[in-house]
């Protein structure tokens, strides 16, 4: 009789333990998949932000430079940006000595994005070389 009882099937405790292990495994798997999808979305957002920053630099940091502070929001409202263009200090002394000398301009772009407020940022800083306006130089 004892051999027949062992061959009859699993006990209730064994079944509960198997379901608990299955639930734990599925929970870990779903958590990993959720984290991976979040990282994939954040990576896509960062790539889009880099492309958007490149297009902003191409638009605002071309000659003639629009000196000062500029800011705006992307067309979809997801990315907020602020750009500052100013003469680079060593170039100011050279410009005073020779008005026909090329000048350097510092361009700084700060880009923020994220759901529910700016949670991620991209900062780009570059120097641009510009020749003086031919009509302004005597």
Residue 138 lies in a domain: no
Residue 88 lies in a domain: yes
Residue 23 lies in a domain: yes
DSSP structure string for the chain: -HHHHHTT---HHHHHHHHHHHHHHHHHHHHHHHHHHHHHHHHHHHHHHHHHHHHHHHHHSSSSP--EEEEEE-TTS-EEEEEEEEE-HHHHHHHHH-TTS-EEEEEEEEEEE-TTS--EEEEEEEEEEEPPPTTT--
pLDDT tens string 68-92? 899 999 888 889 999 999 888 765 5
Domain count, the chain: 1
Residue 1 lies in a domain: no
pTM of the model: 0.65
Residue 134: pLDDT band with limits 50, 70, 90: very low
Residue 98 lies in a domain: yes
Q: What is the pLDDT of residue 119?
A: 82
Question: 48 or 100: which carries more pLDDT confidence?
Answer: 48
Residue 137 lies in a domain: no
Residue 2 lies in a domain: no
Domain that holds residue 64: 12-130
Q: What is the pLDDT of residue 64?
A: 75
């Amino acid at each position: 009789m004892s051999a027949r009882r062992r061959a009859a099937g699993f006990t209730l405790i064994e079944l509960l333990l198997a379901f608990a292990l299955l639930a734990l495994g599925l929970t870990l798997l779903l958590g990993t998949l959720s984290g991976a999808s979040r990282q994939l979305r954040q990576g896509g957002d960062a790539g889009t932000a880099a492309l958007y920053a490149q297009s902003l630099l191409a638009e605002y940091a071309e000659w003639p430079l629009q000196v000062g502070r500029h800011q705006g929001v992307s067309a979809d409202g997801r990315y907020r940006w602020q750009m500052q263009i100013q003469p680079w200090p060593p170039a100011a002394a050279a410009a005073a000595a020779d008005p026909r000398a090329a000048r350097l301009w510092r361009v700084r772009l700060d880009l923020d994005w994220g759901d529910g407020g700016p949670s991620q940022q991209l900062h780009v800083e570059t120097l641009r070389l510009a020749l003086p306006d031919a009509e302004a130089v005597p």
